[in-house]
């Protein structure tokens, strides 16, 4: 940590923050992955802006009344002060470097801001193995590559952990005889990768990708080149592309039961979908909600038999088979869902408190459009048994790659295979 960052407690707040001229204040917590992801950015920005802006950190757990008086409800939270007044946008969660820099504009004169921006010099980093994605597949590759003493960097556009961090309980990952919370399982994998020596760049923007040249650019200023690239960017929920879905995402429409089910205690919820995720997540939501209506386009569920049996036996769950959503509207109660009966073509209205959408998955490949990667007909990366893609020195593993089953165990096994092959090729061929 450099000496441009100061750590304070509540009794120094007035002197260091309110009486400072231009200040950025970071409310952080311990055991907080997004706080750790922010710490690197905070430090590197303090080296450029630290003569003009005071960089201050305060531990939220030990300074709760101050945090509450400032309305800080999550960690990390960045607040910007100019002459004792709060200015700009309060930033929280996965904080992007660019968003911090944008707020600095309000703390400095126009000329000084432009002058300092010029000092944001491009950085060139090279490594042996660059892993794009820190879910189970990417973190496993990182563990193997780093343990083989490869210079390894793992990049993620969000916090590490991937989809598993939004999974309430995982009961089928070997080694845990009781179900383990998804976030804990991923915390262990992350710690193991870091412990093995893997370097990380989390919550960053990947601003350029050149797979053929084995190079990416992050946050618009750091170019990382590697001998081998392992793509482990996973998959995410497909939107339905139904009217109102985009507008009300996060305001009544959710894609994550672990994150949001707790807000529906005693409420009526509509779930769209009928596959494993829809059914398993509905079971979880039923711990909180009063009733769940599952709207599914087919006349039967696609989920596995055990999940189906549990759902059919759950008195809180009812089914609308052969129905599809047509629009979502916001109401005083929550959401109004218009569904079409696919047999009669009749439109029906469902008055509900909230909607969860689980309508299948898509590969996270937006950043690799036009990169020359060969995809299967469903849009997943084609790989051979060594996890090679069609691009020399580029591997793909886990959910992003073409396969029959997408599970944590499959992701970790592919992460293993790719890393071992990458290491062998670096040691023998390159
Ligand atoms: C609700 C739910 C419940 C599930 N339950 C289970 C279960 O009980 N058991 C089981 O085995 N499996 C379960 N799964 C499936 C399992 O989560 C996935 O198979 C597994 O997470 C795939 O791992 P991955 O590393 O390939 O991808 P992900 O877990 O999707 O991780 C990919 C990572 O890449 C990052 N990323 C995306 N794009 C980029 C980019 N361009 N550059 C850098 N990083 C990027 C993402 O932010 C993410 O962190 C469940 C999935 C869901 C959605």
Digit-coded pLDDT (tens) for 333-374: 899 999 999 999 999 999 999 999 998 889 999 999 889 999
Mean pLDDT within 31-51: 85
How far, in Å, from the CA of 348 to the mean position of ligand 1? 35
Question: In the listed set 97, 117, 137, which residue is the last one of a domain according to the structure?
Answer: 117
* Cβ(316)–Cβ(234) below 8 Å: no
Cβ of 403 less than 6 Å from ligand 1:
no
Query: Do 71 and 98 sit in the same domain of this protein?
Result: yes
Q: Do 100 and 32 sit in the same domain of this protein?
A: yes
- 242 inside domain: no
Q: From the CB of 156, is ligand 1 less than 6 Å away?
A: yes
Q: Does the beta carbon of 163 sit less than 6 angstroms from any atom of ligand 1?
A: yes
Task: Give the residue from 298, 324, 357 where a domain finishes.
Answer: 357
Q: Is 135 in the pocket of ligand 1 (CB under 6 A)?
A: yes
Same-domain status, 108 and 127:
no
Q: Is the CB of 46 under 6 A from ligand 1?
A: no
Q: Which residue has the higher pLDDT, 207 or 411?
A: 411
- Residues 334, 367, single domain; the answer is no
Boundary (domain end) residue, out of 357, 379, 407: 357
**Residue-wise burial string across 56-90, b where 16 or more C-beta atoms lie within 10 A, e elsewhere:** bbbbbeebeebbeebebeebbbbbbbbeeeeebee
Ligand 1 atom nearest the C-alpha of 397 is 26
Residue nearest to atom 53 of ligand 1 (CA): 163
The CATH number assigned to the domain holding 37 equals 3.40.30.10
133 and 231, same domain (yes or no): yes
Ligand 1 atom closest to the CA of 233, numbered from 1:
34
**Both tokens assigned to 145:** 């590559």
What pLDDT band is residue 2 in, cutting at 50, 70 and 90? low
From 96, 133, 165, give the residue whose CB has the most ligand 1 atoms within 8 Å, as the site to mutate: 133
CATH (domain of 259): 3.50.50.60
In 3-state terms, what secondary structure has residue 88? strand
For 40-87, the DSSP string reads HHHHHHHHHHTTTSEEEEEEGGGGHHHHHHTT--SSSEEEEEETTEEE
Same domain flag for 76 and 151: no
The answer as to whether 247 is a domain residue is no
Using the predicted structure, report yes or no on whether residue 387 has a pLDDT greater than 80.
yes
Answer whether residue 1 shows pLDDT above 70.
no
63/198 same-domain check: no
Give the CA dihedral 420, 426, 428, 430, nearest 10 degrees: 150
Weakest-pLDDT range from 82-86, 96-100, 398-402: 96-100
State both tokens at 108: 């400095």
pLDDT for the residue numbered 73: 77
Ligand 1 atom with minimal separation from the 236 CA: 30
ω before 160 within 30° of 0 (cis)? Answer: no
User: What does the mean pLDDT of the chain come to?
Assistant: 93
Distance 164 CA to ligand 1 centre (A): 6
Atom of ligand 1 nearest to the CA of 160: 49
Residue 245 lies in a domain: no
| Residue 339 lies inside a defined structural domain of this protein | yes
241 vs 75, residue with greater confidence: 241
Q: How many domains does the chain have?
A: 3
Give yes or no: residues 220 and 127 share one domain: yes
Q: How far does the centroid of ligand 1 lie from the alpha carbon of residue 399, in Å?
A: 7
Residue 205 lies in a domain: yes
- 337 and 371 co-located in one domain: no
Query: Which candidate, 70, 72, 55, places its Cα nearest to that of 21?
Result: 55
Q: From the CA of 167, how far away is ligand 1's center (Å)?
A: 10
CA of 133 to the centre of ligand 1 (A): 9
Distance of CA 301 to the CA centre of its chain: 28
Q: Is residue 244 part of a domain?
A: no
C-alpha of residue 136 to centroid of ligand 1, in Å? 7
Ligand 1 mean position, distance from CA 397 (Å): 11
User: What are the two backbone dihedrals, phi and then psi, of residue 280, each rounded to the nearest 5 degrees?
Assistant: -65, -40
- Decide if pLDDT at 5 tops 90: yes
132 to each of 206, 224, 283, 405, 415, how far by Cα in Å? 9, 11, 33, 21, 12
Q: Is 408 in the pocket of ligand 1 (CB under 6 A)?
A: yes
Ligand 1 proximity of 148 Cβ (cutoff 6 Å): no
Residue-number span of the structural domain to which 303 is assigned? 253-357
**386 and 331 housed in the same domain:** no
167 & 180 share domain: yes
Say yes or no: CB of residue 170 within 6 Å of ligand 1. Answer: yes
* CB distance 140 to ligand 1 below 6 Å: no
Query: How far apart are alpha carbons 331 and 328 in whole angstroms?
Result: 10
In Å, what is the CA distance from 272 to each residue of 249, 313, 319?
A: 14, 19, 10
- Residue 131 in contact with ligand 1 by CB distance below 6 A: no
Q: Is the pTM of this model over 0.85?
A: no
Nearest Cα residue to atom 42 of ligand 1:
132
Distance of alpha carbon 320 from the chain centroid: 32
pLDDT in the model for residue 29: 87
- Is the C-beta atom of 235 inside 6 A of ligand 1? yes
**Range with lowest mean pLDDT among 4-8, 30-34, 44-48, 94-98:** 30-34
Which of 249-253, 301-305, 383-387 has the highest mean predicted lDDT (pLDDT)? 383-387
Q: Is 75 in the pocket of ligand 1 (CB under 6 A)?
A: no
Quick check: CB of 234 below 6 Å from ligand 1? yes
Give the pLDDT of residue 172: 86
Q: Are residues 257 and 224 in the same domain?
A: no
Please report, rounded to a whole number, the percentage of residues in the chain having pLDDT higher than 90. Answer: 72
Residue 220 has what pLDDT? 85
Residue 248 lies in a domain: no
The dihedral of CA 16, 17, 21, 26: what is its sign?
A: positive
3-state SS of the chain: helix, strand, coil percent to 5? 30, 30, 40
Q: How far is the CA of 398 from the centre of ligand 1 (A)?
A: 8
**Is 398 a pocket residue for ligand 1 (Cβ < 6 Å)?**
yes
137 CB near ligand 1 (under 6 Å)? yes
Rounded distance from Cα 165 to ligand 1 centre (Å): 8
* Higher per-residue confidence, 247 vs 387: 387
The reply to whether 293 falls in a domain is yes
The Cβ of residue 292 has, within 10 Å, a number of other Cβ atoms equal to 25
């Amino acid at each position: 940590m450099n000496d441009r960052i100061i750590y304070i407690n509540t009794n120094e707040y007035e002197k260091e923050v309110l009486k400072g001229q231009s200040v950025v204040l970071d409310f952080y917590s311990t055991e907080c992955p997004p706080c750790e992801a922010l710490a690197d950015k905070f430090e590197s920005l303090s080296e450029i802006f630290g003569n003009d802006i005071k960089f201050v950190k305060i531990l939220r757990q030990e300074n709760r009344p101050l945090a509450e008086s400032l309305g800080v409800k999550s960690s990390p939270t960045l607040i910007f002060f100019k002459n004792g007044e709060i200015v700009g946008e309060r930033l929280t969660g996965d904080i992007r470097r660019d968003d911090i820099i944008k707020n600095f504009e309000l703390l400095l004169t126009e000329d000084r801001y432009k002058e300092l921006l010029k000092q944001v010099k491009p950085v060139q980093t090279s490594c042996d193995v660059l892993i794009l994605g820190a879910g189970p597949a990417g973190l496993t590759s990182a563990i193997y590559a780093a343990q083989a003493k490869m210079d390894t960097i793992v990049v993620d556009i969000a916090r590490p952990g991937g989809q598993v961090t939004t999974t309430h309980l995982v009961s089928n990952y070997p080694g845990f005889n009781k179900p383990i919370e998804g976030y804990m399982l991923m915390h262990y994998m992350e710690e193991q990768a870091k412990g093995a020596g893997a370097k990380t760049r989390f919550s960053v923007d990947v601003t350029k990708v050149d797979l053929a040249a084995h190079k990416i650019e992050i946050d618009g200023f750091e170019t990382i080149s590697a001998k081998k690239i392992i793509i482990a960017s996973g998959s995410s929920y497909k939107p339905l592309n139904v009217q109102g879905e985009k507008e009300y995402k996060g305001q009544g429409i959710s894609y994550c039961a672990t994150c949001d089910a707790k807000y529906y205690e005693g409420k009526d919820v509509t779930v769209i979908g009928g596959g494993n995720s829809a059914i398993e997540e509905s079971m979880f939501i039923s711990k909180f909600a009063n009733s769940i209506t599952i709207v599914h386009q087919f006349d039967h569920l696609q989920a596995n038999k055990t999940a189906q049996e549990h759902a059919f036996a759950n008195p809180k769950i009812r089914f609308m088979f052969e129905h599809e959503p047509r629009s979502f509207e916001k109401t005083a109660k929550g959401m109004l869902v218009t569904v079409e009966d696919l047999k009669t073509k009749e439109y029906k209205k469902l008055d509900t408190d909230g909607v969860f959408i689980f309508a299948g998955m898509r590969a996270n490949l937006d950043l690799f459009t036009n990169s020359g990667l060969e995809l299967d007909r469903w849009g997943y990366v084609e790989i051979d048994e060594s996890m090679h893609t069609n691009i020399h020195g580029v591997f793909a593993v886990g959910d992003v790659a073409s396969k029959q089953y997408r599970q944590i165990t499959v992701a970790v096994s592919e992460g293993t295979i790719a890393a071992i092959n990458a290491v062998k090729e670096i040691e023998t061929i390159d």
